[in-house]
Amino acid sequence: MKIENAIAQMRKGVLELCILGIISKGEAYPSDIIRSLKEAKLIVVEGTLYPLLTRLKNAGLLDYTWRESTSGPPRKYYHITPKGREFLNQLLLNWNGLVHAVEESTRHLQQTTSDNE
Amino acid sequence: MNKVIHINLGGMPFIIDEDAYEALRDYLAAIHSHFRNSEGYEEITADIEARLAELFRESMGHRQIVTMKDVQEAIRIMGTPEVFEAEGESAAEGDAAPSGKQDAGAQPRWRTGRRLFRDPDDQVLGGVCSGLAAYLGIEDPIWVRLAFVLFTLSGGFGIPLYIILWIIVPEAKTASDRLAMRGEPINVSNIGKIIEEEMSQLSKRVSEFAEELGKEDWGGKKKSGRQRA
């Protein structure tokens, strides 16, 4: 078992939560979403995002509107739907539970590392 | 000088260098084959194409023509299917081949047979022998060349045969031609490899040329290398 794979799996797991979270702040263009995700080191290339957005849109969690752009063809701007907001809240609840679980099960390790410092 | 091609990408017209066009076409083919069986295939690929068009516009600025550099930069930002698989899509969805394990499944799965080309990278006269060697799977073209020489010396029609082949066999001009010549599958990572090789050869030629200029400062003429936009 490789550490890179384990880390990649963890990141994949939270990707949808993060995308919904970013879009819930307001209308977003894919390249803006990418910028936030890149800063968080969640994804590196833009191509990863398009299939995810399409899937979330087809599931009714996101929707988009076409907006004219100054430099070229109209762009798709994504926004979250009420269903998506509900979904995001559920994910967040579970996420908080997970954070708690991780803290509980690794508390002794975190204490030792801070003791060593 | 470079031939250019007119294309429509994501609803926008572009004029693109021929080599850049080949690279873009092969990249898009890999993208399409990767998403072919995904839900929302058409929408995903249309989104990607529209975004590539936008990236070209941004990196071109006031230039009129899309060059290889623009294509490479756009591909770097957009990423290749291999990377998508590693960082985005969960194993449960989307992927076409249930048999494909992580590494095998990441490659676009079409393969071309070998095709006969003249090899411009390894030529004594017209690259016929090295192209034939690649076609026949012979590692060193010296054996094909020797065979030609022996054939000619022993009274065969080696020279006219060579000239005929020189005329009728096309030169491997593009990255995908070269892959087809060697019988390697055409996918994004291979195209990238070829382009890298080409770039390093180009820079080698440039430095050789510069050296030569230094040596023959008093007016030694040398035919100029292929000019690139």
Task: Supply the CATH number for residue A102's domain.
Answer: 1.10.10.10
- The pLDDT assigned to B24 comes to 95
Nearest to A20 by CA among A65, A83, A70, A74: A83
- List the domain range (segments joined by +) for residue A34: 3-116
The widest CA-to-CA distance across chain A, in whole angstroms, is: 57
Of B40, B50, B84, the CB nearest to A58: B40
Mutate which of A16, A45, A53, A57 to disrupt the B interface (most B C-beta within 10 Å)?
A: A45
- Around Cβ B173, how many Cβ atoms within 10 Å? 15
* B122 CB-side CA count, 13 A: 17
B209 in contact with A, Cβ within 8 Å: no
Report strand pairing: B65-66 vs B4-9. Answer: unpaired
- The pLDDT assigned to A114 comes to 60
Three-state DSSP state, B118: strand
Q: Do B53 and A72 touch (CB under 8 A)?
A: yes
- Three-state secondary structure along chain A? CCHHHHHHHHHHHHHHHHHHHHHHCCCECHHHHHHHHHHCCCCCCHHHHHHHHHHHHHCCCEEEEEECCCCCCCEEEEEECHHHHHHHHHHHHHHHHHHHHHHHHHHHHHHHHHHHC
Q: What pLDDT tens digit does each residue of chain B (229 aa) get? A: 789 999 999 888 999 999 999 999 999 999 998 888 888 899 999 999 999 998 998 889 889 999 999 999 999 999 988 888 777 654 334 333 333 333 333 344 444 467 788 888 888 888 888 888 888 878 788 888 888 888 888 877 788 888 888 888 888 877 777 777 777 766 666 777 777 777 777 777 778 777 777 766 554 444 444 554 4
| ipTM higher than threshold 0.90 | no
φ/ψ of residue B116, rounded to 5: -85, 120
Dihedral angle over CA of B82, B86, B92, B97, nearest 10: 20
- The pLDDT assigned to A100 comes to 93
Report the Cα A21 to chain-centroid distance in Å. 6
Under DSSP, the state recorded for B108 is -
Nearest to B229 by CA among B21, B13, B8, B7: B21
φ/ψ of residue A21, rounded to 5: -60, -45
How far B196 CA lies from chain A's nearest CA (Å)? 20
E strand segments, chain B: 4-9, 12-17, 65-66
The answer to whether residues B198 and B46 touch, using CB atoms and an 8 Å cutoff, is no
- Rounded distance, CA B229 to CA B227, Å? 7
Of A12, A46, A57, the CB nearest to B51: A46
The answer to whether residues B42 and A51 touch, using CB atoms and an 8 Å cutoff, is no
Number of domains forming the structure of chain A = 1
- Rounded distance, CA B174 to CA B158, Å? 28
Nearest to B79 by CA among A29, A50, A19, A72: A50
B179 Cβ contact partners less than 8 Å away, ≥ 6 residues apart = B112, B185, B186, B190, B191, B194
Three-state DSSP state, B171: strand
Provide the terminal-to-terminal Cα distance of chain B, rounded to the nearest Å: 7
pLDDT along chain A (117 residues), means of 10: 80 88 91 85 85 92 88 85 95 93 88 60
Report chain A's C-alpha Rg in angstroms: 17
Q: Do B87 and A49 touch (CB under 8 A)?
A: no
CB contacts, 8 Å: A54 with chain B: 39-40, 43-44, 47
- Rounded distance, CA A91 to CA A100, Å? 14
The answer to whether residues B61 and B55 touch, using CB atoms and an 8 Å cutoff, is no
B40 in contact with A, Cβ within 8 Å: yes
